[in-house]
């Protein structure tokens, strides 16, 4: 099986897992992250095939989306093993998938350039206009308010606190989204993040202007 056939099979596998998602983690998110990651891989001269494979499956064992992570991981390992027939590549992809999450600021930086690139691509899709839309989509899915001025911006959260509902969608911008630009691993991603970061800042400014409007 050639690389393009492997990619095609992974696309079908991931489409099935993410079909019907309304939290901002649907197939189109996966596809955007894949495209961003391949673009960055070319800029940074990384292994495009590993990057594309990892980007396609990067949310398959994410605790935001799945409860039985053991089963999800076993299924992913089996799928990759059958397609790739290369245990080193499987291990590299699984390593990336398990080490790119933000986790309330408690995540890690992958050691490989391929891992850094997939992490950057995933984070780029969390900022900018798409990032704003995804923040409110995810907040709605989690029954969070659009904005609640009675909540405080949280820092130094545990993963459990980060996953809790004691926040609003607008607070999430301060707790995660506005931090991502400075967390980019590669120069190429950082350059892309600057414009998207500015968009989020401008959005928040306009949001608060409208929120605080008085007659």
- Give me the CATH number covering residue 178: 1.10.3210.50
Higher pLDDT, 153 or 15: 15
- pTM equals 0.93
Rounded distance between C-alpha atoms, residue 137 and residue 192, angstroms: 23
Q: Output 103 or 74, whichever has higher pLDDT.
A: 74
Per-residue pLDDT band for 105 (boundaries 50, 70, 90) equals: low
pLDDT at residue 214, as a whole number: 85
8, 141, 157, 161, 169 from 153: Cα distances, Å: 42, 20, 11, 12, 11
Predicted pLDDT of residue 157: 65
pLDDT bucket at 45, cuts 50 / 70 / 90: very high
Q: What are phi and psi of 190, to 5 degrees?
A: -60, -40
Tell whether the model's pLDDT for residue 75 goes beyond 90: yes
- Output the DSSP codes for 59-100: TTT-TTT-S-HHHHHHHHHHHHHHHH--HHHHHHHHHHHHT-
In which band, very low, low, confident or very high, does the pLDDT at 215 lie, cut at 50, 70 and 90?
A: confident
Count of structural domains, the chain: 1
Instruction: Find how far residue 45's CA is from the centre of its chain.
Output: 22
Domain range for 148 is: 3-211
pLDDT at 52 over 80: yes
Of residues 78 and 163, more confidence is placed in 78
């Amino acid at each position: 099986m050639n690389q393009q056939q492997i990619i095609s099979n992974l696309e079908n596998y991931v489409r099935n897992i993410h079909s019907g998602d309304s939290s901002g983690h649907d197939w189109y998110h996966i596809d955007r992250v894949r495209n961003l990651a391949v673009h960055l891989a070319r800029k940074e001269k990384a292994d495009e095939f590993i990057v594309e494979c990892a980007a396609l499956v990067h949310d398959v064992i994410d605790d935001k989306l799945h409860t039985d992570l053991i089963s999800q991981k076993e299924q992913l390992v089996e799928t990759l093993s059958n397609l790739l027939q290369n245990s080193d590549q499987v291990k590299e992809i699984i390593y990336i998938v398990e080490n790119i999450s933000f986790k309330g600021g408690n995540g890690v930086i992958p050691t490989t350039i391929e891992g850094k690139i997939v992490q950057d691509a995933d984070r780029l899709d969390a900022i900018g206009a798409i990032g704003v839309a995804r923040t409110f989509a995810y907040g709605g899915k989690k029954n969070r308010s659009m904005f609640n001025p009675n909540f405080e911006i949280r820092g130094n959260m545990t993963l459990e606190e980060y996953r809790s509902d004691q926040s609003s969608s607008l607070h999430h911008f301060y707790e995660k989204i506005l931090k991502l630009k400075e967390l980019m691993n590669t120069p190429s991603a950082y350059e892309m993040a600057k414009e998207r970061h500015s968009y989020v800042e401008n959005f928040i400014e306009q949001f608060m202007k409208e929120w605080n409007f008085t007659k």
